[in-house]
Amino acid sequence: QMPLAESGGGFVQPGGSLRLSCSGSGSIPYTMGWHRQVPGNQRELVASRGMGGEIEYADFVKGRFKISRNMAENKLYLEMSGLQPEDTAVYYCSAGSKWAFDSWGQGTQVTVSS
């Protein structure tokens, strides 16, 4: 497992934007991603980026979010725009192999409200 630290969450009005950042330490994982969780619900994948450049987005992203990765610095980013109240959740940075995530950050709260 790899220590991961997120930053960049906060409060934003509907239609606003936020940029999440994640820093990892140690070896470079094959896949890094972002998940989110609302209390009472399962954690769900938001986006992921593999070492080979493969990218996956959840359907609910709908072109609003962009994931990027700096492998040299072991950093991951999520640029979120067009945020809506239903995007309110704790966002977790994740890392793992090509097939499964096995490392998680502590999470950063994103709240979208007017």
Q: What value does the mean pLDDT take over residues 84-105?
A: 95
Q: Are strands 31-37 and 10-12 parallel, antiparallel or unpaired?
A: unpaired
17: left (phi over 0), alpha (psi -120 to 50) or beta: beta
Q: Which stretch of DSSP H or E encloses residue 27?
A: none
* pLDDT band (50, 70, 90) for residue 96: very high
DSSP 40-76: TS--EEEEEEETTS-EEE-GGGTTSEEEEEETTTTEE
Q: What is the pLDDT of residue 84?
A: 97
Q: For residues 62 and 33, what is the distance between their CA atoms, to the nearest angstrom?
A: 17
pLDDT digits (tens, 9 = 90+) for 35-78: 999 999 999 999 999 999 999 999 999 799 999 999 999 999 99
Q: How much is the pLDDT for 26?
A: 85
Q: What is the mean pLDDT of the chain?
A: 95
Instruction: Return the pLDDT at 1.
Output: 80
Please report the pLDDT score of residue 86 as a whole number.
96
> Cα(107)–Cα(56) distance, rounded to whole angstroms?
20
Q: Which of 12-16, 86-90, 97-101 has the lowest mean pLDDT?
A: 97-101
